[in-house]
Amino acid sequence: MDLLKTFAFALLFLAAVPLSGWNLVECPPEVVGTWAVPDQALRAAKPDSALYLPKPFPKGRDEVLADYVYEFQRLLKDTPAASLPNGAAKVLEGLRKGTLRYDVLRIVNWSPTRCLKERRLDAYHLIRVIDGRSGMEITRSVLDESGRLGVISSTMEDERGDSLQRQAKRLRPPDEEMRSTASRFKIRGEAPQYVTTFGTLRCPNITPCLAFRGGGRVYLVSYEGELFEIDQKGRRLEMGKDIGSSEMNEPILKSIGPDGRLVSLGGKVFTTARRVSL
């Protein structure tokens, strides 16, 4: 294989396999060591098994969508129409007619669920399901990193009461969203990724926040467009030891003030962030 073909192959490979994302804390080795057995069980599952997925631990858009379609139909095939989640009936109809379009975004998991012994959960795949005829977003669904469907169907009416048309415009590719924020706040940015995190700045996997680095700093952009800066050298807070009850939380919240937020970084680890003003 000549150099040009080798280079082209490398570009195709990198495009097909999503980057793993970056984190500010790592999961404990004793937790990571427990993931091998459930990972292998998923990879080895046969079509007659409840664990089976067409593409376990999907890499790239096509594999994510293969798992999504399989899981969506498997989980809802016997559900009465009146009991279906919001938007699910339209998705099932669109699957039958082949009229759906999809946006797929990778969401890096900074929530407390990332460092559980039960399974690997470094990331999620957020799927925006769009009516191919009207261009309107029907629903959002979430696969965990293994390809298992976690959030079957969620609309913005479920989440925050916004209109579908408004929320369908909200999530742009992470580099585009970062450029818009960086320009607005006159800062430089790099390494953008969507994240789900927990605390007093809530970033669920249906409406994630954007994280990016810049000038030796780490920033979070809320779903509503507010910018927060994480103190990389700030105190790390442990759930159950430093925070977690009203008695523990009160002095922390008082110290960070109204512009401060508690932010989870993964597992039991939390830190603080402050709102950046224009």
Distance of alpha carbon 71 from alpha carbon 64, whole angstroms: 11
Structure tokens at 261: 């937020």
Are 195 and 108 in contact, with CB atoms under 8 Å apart?
Answer: yes
For residue 165, pLDDT over 70 is answered with no
Reduced to 3 DSSP states, what percent helix, strand and coil does the chain have, rounded to the nearest 5? 35, 25, 40
Q: How confident is the model at residue 154 (pLDDT cuts 50, 70, 90)?
A: confident
- The residue-averaged pLDDT of 145-165 equals 71
What are the residues whose beta carbons fall under 8 Å from the beta carbon of 69, sequence distance 6 or more?
95
For residue 7, pLDDT over 90 is answered with no
Greatest CA span in the chain, whole angstroms?
66
For residue 54, pLDDT over 90 is answered with yes
pTM of the shown model: 0.86
Count helices and strands (H / E) in the chain: 9, 11
For position 14, what pLDDT does the model report? 35
For residue 168, pLDDT over 60 is answered with no
Distance of alpha carbon 54 from alpha carbon 45, whole angstroms: 10
Q: How confident is the model at residue 157 (pLDDT cuts 50, 70, 90)?
A: low
Distance of alpha carbon 209 from alpha carbon 206, whole angstroms: 10
